[in-house]
Amino acid sequence: MQRKRFVGYVALVMVVMAVGSPAAMAQDPIHKVGRGVTNFLTCWIEIPKNFLLGTQEENPVLGAGWGLVKGGGLAVTRAVVGAYEAVSFMVPYPKDYASPYEGLELPDYAWE
């Protein structure tokens, strides 16, 4: 019985933190979890996207190789940050913080 009560209190505290302080959040939890799940599931788009961008450089062969390496790294980065956002969606960002992708100089979604 005590365990159920404890879980209930923890859930109540999480709801109050999420709903009770909207002024402190840069984005709402629904946007954060949606972006996190979307980026986790579509992180693979970075590989063909960067491969294509690499073939458009001066030396297409080297550009394609570098595009695969860069795309693979960005795919892993996007998957890790997306998983973090999906798991921690109830924890608000600081007020003036727009996106974790901003610091990485990445768009919010892989197709942008």
- Domain ranges in the chain are 2-103
Q: Which two tokens stand for residue 13?
A: 């505290």
Q: Give the residue, 16 or 58, on which the prediction is more confident.
A: 58
pTM (predicted TM-score): 0.68
User: How confident is the model at residue 79, as a pLDDT?
Assistant: 95
CB-side neighbour CA atoms (13 Å) of 20: 6
Give residue-wise pLDDT tens across range 17-56.
554 444 434 478 888 899 999 999 999 999 999 999 999 9
Q: How many other C-beta atoms can be found within 10 angstroms of the C-beta atom of residue 98?
A: 11
What average pLDDT does range 67-90 have in this prediction?
Answer: 93
The answer, yes or no, to whether residue 112 has pLDDT greater than 70, is yes
